[in-house]
């Protein structure tokens, strides 16, 4: 593809000498697990996100598992979450023997619709997992009061949203715990897997620390069966090189979103709102009823796009036992047929954004003439 959906090589090229020095430093230290780099990164990120504690873990999925377990979620509990997310959100809940209870999304931003939560609360409900999808804040100002009223824990899935804010406060610090992922395509990406759990609750932080190292505080003494889920020193050292650049990368993502918005505002597509800091654009996702044709057209023009996500979580084979049916979450199902994520990464040039936009406009204009109507409409 001439224009990839996400190109990690460009960022690496820019930082290669520094990254290589960081790796060499860890190699020379002989300390590969839970050393100084993990410890420092935890401090740096806790201060960035605005929590008292941060605990490095092996990946975002296990971060969710450990955070939920530390919040007391276990077998038989119900956890309310969105039907429209990456599989890991539901997978983590299921791994604990708990039951994911899905809620439909708001068609404006594809985040969990708060007005749908109340009807799903039962005596077995234990927690809510809002997902800040594509990097856009879920409506925490409405979710948190519901959780408080019913005594539910809130674990934010902020895997795509490190750096985004809600009401001026960083995501990941609003719930009882927040989880981010350092998967390479996330806004702060490692050169492999990694994740972090954020909390200001000393008990939750302590439990996550304990669980990530086999439920052990003293060598060879295990009070509970935990996990082996640690962030490693090499990834932490690499992330510490990248962290000071995160603010600049985030601004660039938001600038690219603004450029797309300018070019595409009359394309007849559903576009994400470019607001203040509440969206950090891990993905720039548009909607079109002709999504599959648009994707194929762009591919012919050398432009790669992605579909996040082609199925609702309730439609996943692995979760069929939950008994949901097609039609249960109409907004989610509509989104799965209409969403398309255009190329988005900080190193994408203005010229490339213009080229992608021109290709999109060529497609929508052709549709306009062949259909005699608008090529697409907003999802709302």
Ligand X SMILES: *Cc1c(COP(=O)(O)O)cnc(C)c1O
CB of 28 to ligand X, least distance (A): 28
- Return the residue matching tokens 């439909």: 104
Q: Among residues 91 and 206, whose Cβ is nearest to ligand X?
A: 91
CB of 120 to ligand X, least distance (A): 20
Q: Which residue is at the shortest CB distance from ligand X?
A: 60
CB atoms within 10 A of CB 220: 6
Residue 238's contacts (CB-CB under 8 Å, 6 or more residues apart) are: 19, 22, 23, 190, 191
Is residue 59 near ligand X by the rule CB under 6 A?
Answer: yes
**Segment near ligand X (CB under 6 A), from 40-48, 59-67, 96-104, 225-233?**
59-67
Residue 261's contacts (CB-CB under 8 Å, 6 or more residues apart) are: 271, 274
Q: Which of 183, 198, 249, 324 binds ligand X (CB under 6 A)?
A: 183
CB atoms within 10 A of CB 246: 18
Structure tokens at 291: 């999504």
Is residue 333 near ligand X by the rule CB under 6 A?
Answer: no
Q: Which of 85, 305, 357, 364 binds ligand X (CB under 6 A)?
A: 85
Q: How far apart, in whole angstroms, are the C-alpha atoms of residue 337 and residue 85?
A: 14
Q: Among residue numbers 122 through 181, which ones bind ligand X (CB under 6 A)? A: 131, 157, 159-160, 181
Q: How far apart, in whole angstroms, are the C-alpha atoms of residue 334 and residue 311?
A: 10
| Whether 58 contacts 193, CB under 8 Å | yes
Is residue 306 near ligand X by the rule CB under 6 A?
Answer: no
Binding track, positions 89-108, relative to ligand X; x by CB under 6 A: x-------------------
Q: Among residue numbers 242 through 271, which ones bind ligand X (CB under 6 A)? A: none
CB atoms within 10 A of CB 206: 15
Q: Which of 178, 195, 268, 346 binds ligand X (CB under 6 A)?
A: 195
Q: Applying CB under 6 A, which residues contact ligand X? A: 59-61, 85-86, 88-89, 131, 157, 159-160, 181, 183, 193, 195
């Amino acid at each position: 593809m001439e224009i990839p959906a996400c190109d990690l090589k460009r960022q690496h090229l820019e930082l290669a000498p520094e990254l290589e020095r960081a790796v060499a430093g860890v190699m020379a230290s002989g300390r590969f697990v839970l050393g100084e780099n993990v410890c420092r990164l935890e401090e740096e990120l806790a201060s960035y996100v605005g929590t008292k504690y941060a605990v490095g873990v092996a990946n975002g999925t296990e971060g969710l598992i450990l955070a939920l377990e530390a919040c007391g979620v276990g077998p038989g509990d119900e956890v309310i979450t969105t039907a429209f997310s990456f599989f890991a959100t539901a997978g983590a809940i299921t791994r604990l023997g708990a039951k994911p209870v899905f809620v439909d999304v708001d068609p404006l931003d594809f985040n969990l619709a708060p007005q749908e939560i109340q009807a799903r609360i039962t005596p077995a409900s234990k927690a809510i997992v809002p997902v800040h999808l594509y990097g856009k804040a879920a409506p925490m100002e409405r979710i948190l009061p519901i959780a408080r009223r019913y005594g539910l824990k809130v674990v934010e899935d902020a895997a795509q949203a490190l750096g985004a804010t809600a009401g001026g406060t960083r995501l990941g610090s609003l719930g009882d715990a927040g989880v981010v992922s350092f998967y390479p395509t996330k806004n702060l990406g490692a050169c492999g897997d990694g994740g972090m759990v954020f909390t200001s609750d000393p008990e939750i932080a302590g439990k996550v620390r304990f669980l990530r190292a086999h439920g052990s505080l003293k060598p060879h003494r295990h009070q509970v069966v935990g996990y082996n889920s640690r962030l490693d020193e090499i990834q932490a050292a690499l992330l510490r090189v990248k962290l000071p650049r995160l603010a600049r990368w985030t601004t660039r993502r938001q600038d690219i979103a603004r450029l797309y918005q300018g070019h595409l505002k009359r394309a007849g597509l559903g576009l994400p709102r470019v607001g203040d800091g509440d969206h950090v654009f891990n993905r720039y996702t548009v909607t079109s009823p002709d999504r599959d044709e648009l994707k194929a057209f762009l591919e012919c023009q050398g432009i790669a796009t992605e579909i996040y996500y082609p199925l609702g979580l309730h439609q996943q084979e692995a979760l069929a036992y939950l008994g949901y049916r097609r039609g249960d979450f109409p907004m989610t199902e509509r989104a799965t047929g209409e969403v398309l994520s255009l190329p988005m990464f900080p190193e994408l040039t203005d010229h490339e954004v213009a080229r992608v936009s021109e290709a999109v406009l060529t497609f929508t204009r052709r549709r306009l003439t062949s259909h005699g109507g608008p090529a697409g409409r907003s999802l709302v």
